[in-house]
Structure 1
Amino acid sequence: MDLSGKVAIVTGSGRGLGLAYAEELARNGAAVVINDVDEAAAHAAAAGIVAAGGRATAVVAPVGTAETARKLVAGAVEAFGRLDVLVTNAGILRDKVLWKMTDEDFDAVIDVHLRGTFTCVREAVLRFREQGGGGRIICIGSPAGQRGNFGQTNYSAAKAAIVGMVRTWALELQRAGITVNAVCPVAATAMTETIPFLAPHIESMKRGEPLPAVIRREVGMGTPEDAAGIVSFLASEAAAGITGQALSVGGDRLALWSHPQLTATAFHDGGWSADDIAGSWGEAFAGSVESVGEEFPAELVAK
Structure 2
Amino acid sequence: MDTMDLSDKVAVVTGSGRGLGLAYASALAAAGAAVVVNDVDTEAAERAVKEITEAGGHAVAEAAAVGETDAAERLVARAVAEFGRLDVMCTNAGILRDRVLWKMSDDEFDAVIKVHLRGTFTCARAAAIRMREQGGGGRLIMAASPAGQRGNFGQTNYAAAKAGIAAMARTWSMELANAGITANALVPVAATEMTRTIPAFAPYIDAMEQRGEPLPGWLRKGEGFGTVRDVAGLVVFLASDASSGVTGQCIGIGGDKLALWSHPQEISVAYADGGWDADAIAAAWPVSVGREPQSVGIPAPQVPAS
- TM normalised by structure 2 equals 0.97
Q: Tell me, yes or no, if structure 1 residue 61 matches structure 2 residue 68.
A: no
Aligned to 1:261: 265
Q: Tell me, yes or no, if structure 1 residue 212 matches structure 2 residue 231.
A: no
Q: Tell me, yes or no, if structure 1 residue 223 matches structure 2 residue 230.
A: no
Alpha-carbon shift at residue 297 of structure 1 (Å): 4.7
Alpha-carbon shift at residue 47 of structure 1 (Å): 1.2
Measure the CA separation in 1 of the matches of 2:44 and 2:55. 17
**Residues 109-148 of structure 1: pairs in structure 2 closer than 5 A:** 109-148=112-151
The aligned length equals 302
Measure the CA separation in 2 of the matches of 1:158 and 1:297. 24
Q: Tell me, yes or no, if structure 1 residue 75 matches structure 2 residue 111.
A: no
Secondary structure at the aligned position of 2:287 is classed as: helix
Q: Tell me, yes or no, if structure 1 residue 281 matches structure 2 residue 288.
A: no
Measure the CA separation in 2 of the matches of 1:84 and 1:298. 40
1:152 to 155, 159, 182: 155
Deviations 1:41-86 (A, max 9, x none): 1001011111111100000010000000010001101110110000
Secondary structure at the aligned position of 2:214 is classed as: coil
Aligned to 1:170: 173
Deviations 1:103-123 (A, max 9, x none): 010000000000000000000
Secondary structure at the aligned position of 2:196 is classed as: coil
Measure the CA separation in 1 of the matches of 2:53 and 2:110. 36
8 Å contact from structure 2 (residues 285, 291) kept in 1: no
Aligned to 2:246: 242
Aligned to 2:26: 23
Q: Tell me, yes or no, if structure 1 residue 200 matches structure 2 residue 203.
A: yes
Alpha-carbon shift at residue 286 of structure 1 (Å): 3.1
Aligned to 1:44: 47
Q: Tell me, yes or no, if structure 1 residue 99 matches structure 2 residue 102.
A: yes
Q: Percent identity?
A: 62
Measure the CA separation in 1 of the matches of 2:176 and 2:289. 37
Q: Which runs of 4+ in 1 moved over 6 A?
A: none
Q: Partner letter of residue 105 of structure 1?
A: E
Measure the CA separation in 1 of the matches of 2:189 and 2:302. 18
Measure the CA separation in 1 of the matches of 2:10 and 2:16. 15
Runs of at least 5 residues in structure 2 that lack an aligned partner in the other structure: none
Secondary structure at the aligned position of 1:287 is classed as: coil
Aligned to 1:290: 294
- TM normalised by structure 1 equals 0.98
Alpha-carbon shift at residue 296 of structure 1 (Å): 3.6
Deviations 1:243-272 (A, max 9, x none): 000000000000000111111100011111
Secondary structure at the aligned position of 1:35 is classed as: strand
Secondary structure at the aligned position of 1:233 is classed as: helix
8 Å contact from structure 2 (residues 200, 303) kept in 1: no
Measure the CA separation in 1 of the matches of 2:290 and 2:160. 26
Measure the CA separation in 1 of the matches of 2:121 and 2:302. 38
